Amino acid sequence: MWLDRKEELRTLKRLADARRAEFLILYGRRRVGKSELLDHFLKGRKGVRLLAREESETLQLRHASRVMAERFQDAVLASNSFVNWDAFFTYLAEKAKNERIIVALDEFPYLVEANRSLPSLLQYHWDERLRKSKLFLILCGSSIGMM
């Protein structure tokens, strides 16, 4: 069931319509509709929600590669999974160099469980390239301390 989240959708739309890189952290208690909000927002937009799972980093990167290859119709990515998070963020920087894309990393704390250096890698890539792109990056999770 979709609950009317007009204000949240307006905020997401405003950030999505910006001409510069945007970075948003979306957090809250479990089962309040964060993922549903992202799915609703992404309808009709060039973007993807990557739902993390409690599994190895290698499996998470393979999953992200499959989902993104399908969503962005990228045959090269479909046959060549990301080997690490550096490759993932480099791909995002290239993909968003000239066009707005939206990537939501849902259940971000699961990704960090598998690789504790992920926040540092993200910070590095954001500072070096992603902030200069047209990427709208959303990190989502229910662990308020982690987020």
Can you give 69-134 as a three-state secondary structure string?
HHHCCCHHHHHCCCCCHHHHHHHHHHHCCCCCEEEEEECHHHHHHHCCCHHHHHHHHHHHCHHHCC
In this prediction, residue 146 carries a pLDDT of 52
Q: pLDDT, tens digit, for every residue of 71-127?
A: 999 999 999 999 999 999 999 999 999 999 999 999 999 999 999 999 999 999 999
Whole-prediction pTM: 0.90
Q: pLDDT, tens digit, for every residue of 9-51?
A: 999 999 999 989 999 999 887 766 788 999 999 999 999 999 9
Domains and CATH numbers, the chain: 6-141 (3.40.50.300)
